[in-house]
Structure 1
Amino acid sequence: MTSQTPGPARGPFPGLLIAFEGGDGAGKSTQTAALAAALESRGLTVLRTREPGGTPIGEKLRSLVLEHGHGEIDGRTEALIFAASRAAHAEQVLRPALERGDVVLTDRYIDSSVAYQGAGRHLGTDRVRGINEWATAGLWPDLTVLLDVDPADGRRRRTAGDAAEDRLESEADDFHARIRGAFLELAAARPGQYLVLDAHLPVDDLAAQILDRVDALLSLRQGSSA
């Protein structure tokens, strides 16, 4: 995988950046919404966002790279499109929210590129990580929640009800297996910065475990600012 172990060094921001990662069909959107609702009920300001996307240019790039019908997109071009979207996201959305003191929840972040393009497309995880570290000027999450799902189960989840798969979702199972392995290796290399959960657990159980971990982070943040 990689010998690099980047941490959450991202500047003296009062806010908190939490990334949700995992294979397609892992339930990231469901858990992001649940965490946002729980934190907002306590009076915290929460920003939910997603990648690729999160900005006007990012949403255009999202449609270009995920929708079918745009012709062939080679792996290197794909990686750079994601990095370009992420650069705008970090500069225009994430940093301003963190500077305001918001809790920022992003559905996918740098690890998705490392896994999907670095491992899935065989571009090299270190190379893809380096591109994205430069694109975000070293903006790393305080916590990454990894929802681990078996690729076959993920496909069954995302195609339930005859839902159509996007360009990456429709890749073969071996592609998604490489992605799953890459996510797990990333988490194993930095266990203190990850919360790895079995995506097959009941939704409420997952939500409770995520909230407990975020509560611990918030307590640490409050203690260090006291």
Structure 2
Amino acid sequence: MNGMFITFEGPDGAGKSTQIQKLAQYINDKGYPYILTREPGGTKIGDAIREILINPDHTEMVDETEVLLYAASRAQHIREVILPALHDGKIVLCDRFVDASIAYQGYGLGVSMEAVKAINRFAVGELEPNRTYLIDISPEIGRERMTKRQTHSQGSEDLDRIEQKNLDYHQRVREGFQRIYIENKQRICLVNGNQPPEDVFKAILSDFESMLEQQFHLRGD
């Protein structure tokens, strides 16, 4: 497996989708082979699961179902999309991965951390990102950004099922991400999401370019 697996994480409204698009454009301009994908989704099956997960009408969904659906989408995604791309030597940019399940279902929902991790170990096997960019913001700022985004597009009522949860939940998610970072500093690059988007990207790009240099050096290219 000669590719590079890069994931983006952060609380809702952190701007990770904007930043992953910026990095994808940079990689494309440099001519490196890559794919850009997301979770939940990324495959036909995964996208169908995504529609179930984020539909705000599904208020009756129990926590255990949420954990299993995210893991099911991830298992399909890995085997159908991510692993083949990595074996082809591509850079895989993925919007969310296992860290999101630990933060959102483990810390946010309060599901047994042991259960969340065990279910995801079964789903992903030995796969782990080479680097994770964790963009950190407060839940208050995240909610403000999401509301503005929806107002400018389709209306503030269009926040999805997860985004609509209360601020206490989103605060637990943020604290979860911070704990995940503390436990995985060798893998995770923590970025202050309160900066202008251009400055956030500069921090990400600086780290990414260092990773590329190391990768090529190790290969002897």
TM-score (norm 1): 0.92
Spell out, residue by residue over 1:48-71, the C-alpha distance to the aligned partner (whole angstroms, 9 max, x if none).
111000000000000001112235
- One-letter amino acid matched to 1:191: K
Map of 1:78 onto structure 2? 66
The yes-or-no answer on 1:199 pairing with 2:193 is: yes
* Secondary structure of the corresponding residue to residue 19 of structure 1: strand
8 A Cα contact 1:46 1:102, kept in partner: yes
Map of 1:218 onto structure 2? 212
* Secondary structure of the corresponding residue to residue 192 of structure 1: coil
In structure 2, do the counterparts of structure 1 residues 84 and 211 end up closer, same or farther at CA, with 3 Å as the change threshold? Answer: same
Map of 1:100 onto structure 2? 88
Map of 1:185 onto structure 2? 179
**1:147 Cα deviation from its structure 2 partner:** 0.5
CA distance in 2, matches of 1:71, 1:155: 19
CA distance in 2, matches of 1:15, 1:212: 19
The yes-or-no answer on 1:63 pairing with 2:51 is: yes
Report the RMSD for the aligned CA atoms in angstroms: 1.0
8 A Cα contact 2:82 2:92, kept in partner: yes
8 A Cα contact 1:115 1:125, kept in partner: no
8 A Cα contact 2:103 2:173, kept in partner: yes
* Secondary structure of the corresponding residue to residue 121 of structure 2: helix
Structure 2, gaps ≥5 residues long: none
* Secondary structure of the corresponding residue to residue 186 of structure 2: helix
CA distance in 1, matches of 2:193, 2:107: 21
TM-score (norm 2): 0.94
Greater shift in the superposed pair: 104-113 or 132-141: 132-141
Correspondence list, 1:5-154, <5 A: 13-70=1-58, 72-154=60-142
